[in-house]
């Protein structure tokens, strides 16, 4: 087992982490172009996507995320971890009860509607909200995804503007494969933001 915080500042991984930073910038440019075309702004939403339970499946995002978290003052880290622990505890209770309906609880990084680690937010947080398309690995048929309910409310009447996520997913897969090779890890991560905040180990096989 290796500490995620240690990996975040390992010079051997610096180039791989920099590759993710560049990919994130490319995602942001793509999203901004599409959102601008529709005239869509992700603001004023009472049913924030930060209330949605998202799982994140790459170690590269986990490590990059924790690097940003480690740069916060220790007092802030303690506050956020406390909220993350409550989130995970509540989630585990709900899952153990097999409760009906989606799990809804505010992300521990959201304060007054803003993400504390916005620049480090994972891929799905960057791309969620607008209609898109992608070709799943090993398939030839394109899959289309709808925008969020706020998009549907504001811009659902507008014709679809192409936004192909395939290149982002492929590049993310390449970066993750490079990282896993360096670490000797050959399985997926599966964590919510809250889990990423309170867990600190990468298990190699």
Report domain extents, the chain.
2-202
User: H-helix or E-strand containing 46?
Assistant: none
pTM for the whole structure: 0.91
Measured CA to CA, the distance from residue 45 to residue 180 in angstroms comes to: 37
Measured CA to CA, the distance from residue 199 to residue 202 in angstroms comes to: 9
Please answer whether residues 175 and 23 qualify as being in contact, where contact means their C-beta atoms are separated by less than 8 angstroms: yes
pLDDT digits (tens, 9 = 90+) for 60-103: 999 999 999 999 999 999 999 999 999 999 999 888 887 666 78
Taking residues 151-164, what's their average pLDDT? Answer: 95
pLDDT confidence band for 110 (50 / 70 / 90): very high
Q: What is the DSSP letter of 186?
A: -
Measured CA to CA, the distance from residue 55 to residue 123 in angstroms comes to: 11
37-57: b (≥16 Cβ within 10 Å) or e:
ebebebeebeebbbebbeebe
């Amino acid at each position: 087992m290796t500490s995620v915080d240690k990996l975040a500042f390992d010079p051997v991984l610096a180039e791989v982490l920099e590759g993710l930073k560049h990919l994130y910038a490319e995602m942001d440019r793509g999203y901004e172009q599409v959102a601008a075309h529709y005239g869509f702004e992700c603001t004023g939403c009472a049913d924030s996507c930060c209330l949605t339970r998202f799982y994140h499946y790459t170690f590269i995002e986990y490590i990059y995320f924790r690097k940003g978290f480690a740069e916060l003052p220790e007092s802030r880290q303690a506050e956020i971890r406390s909220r993350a622990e409550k989130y995970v505890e509540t989630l585990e209770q709900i899952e153990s009860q097999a409760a009906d309906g989606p799990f809804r609880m505010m992300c521990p990084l959201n304060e007054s509607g803003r993400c504390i680690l916005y620049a480090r937010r994972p891929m799905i947080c960057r791309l969620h909200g607008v209609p898109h398309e992608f070709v799943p690995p090993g398939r030839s048929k394109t899959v289309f995804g709808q925008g969020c309910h706020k998009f549907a409310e504001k811009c659902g009447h507008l014709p679809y503007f192409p936004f192909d996520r395939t290149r982002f997913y492929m590049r993310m897969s390449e970066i993750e494969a490079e990282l896993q090779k360096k670490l000797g890890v050959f399985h997926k991560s599966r964590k919510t933001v809250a889990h990423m905040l309170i867990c600190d180990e990468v298990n190699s096989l």
